[in-house]
Each structure stands twice: as C-alpha cells, then as structure tokens.
Amino acid sequence: QVQLVESGGGLVQAGGSLRLSCAFSGSMFSLYTMGWYRQAPGKQRELVADISSGGSTNYADSVKGRFTISRDNAKNSVYLQMNSLKPKDTAFYYCRGGRGLPLYWGQGTQVTVSS
C-alpha cells in the first residue's frame, strides 16, 4: 500500500521561496514516476513538474526556470523547490506517484503567495 504525505506549504510573499516535500511509504520508490500537481480555486488540477525513475524532469511552462523538482531515493522522497513565487502560484499542491496504474495521490498542501 502506497501512501504519500506532503509538507512544506504555507504563506509567502511574492518573490519568496518554499520547498515542498513528499514522503513516500511503500516499496520500490525508485521505480516510480513522481509528480507535483496543483489546483487553484475554480480551476482544474494541472501538472507542475514530474520526475521519472531515471531522473528525467518535465515542467509546466509557467514554472520553468523558477521551480525545481528532485528526488532522493534513499529517503523515499520527492521535493519541489519553488523560487520567485508569484500570486498566481497560489494553489493546493499535490504529490502523485505511479508505475503505470494505479496512481497514488497525497492529501495536498496549501501554498499561498501574497502580493
């Protein structure tokens, strides 16, 4: 049984930084593709960034150059370093993991960026 637990969200001023963490419990974390998604009020959930088991990364255009996804297989964790935050980054951020199906989701963490 896979469980994902996010942490690190909070309130930050525009231009600031936050680092989100996602702790994975289960087996074979290193084989999972892990991703961060976000959902703002009234909007659909969208991909922010993901990282494959081999370390290849993919970013939404809106966060390229500002956010960095990384993973630590020894700690069964994935991270999202968010710099130069903007008010439009305000959303609930979710961690997702999978090796094909099923996909697993965390409960999410709120990120609020004030102007």
Question: CA 68: distance to chain centroid?
Answer: 9
Contact present, 95 and 35 (Cβ < 8 Å): yes
Beta strands in 1-115 (DSSP E): 3-7, 10-13, 18-25, 33-39, 46-51, 57-59, 67-72, 77-82, 91-98, 103-105, 109-114
Task: Identify the CA nearest to 83 among candidates 63, 110, 60, 55.
Answer: 63
Residue 38 has what pLDDT?
98
Ranges in the chain, pLDDT < 70: none
DSSP 4-24: EEEE--EEEETT--EEEEEEE
For Cα atoms 68, 71, 76, give the angle at the middle one, nearest 5 degrees: 150
Residue 89 token pair: 């980054």
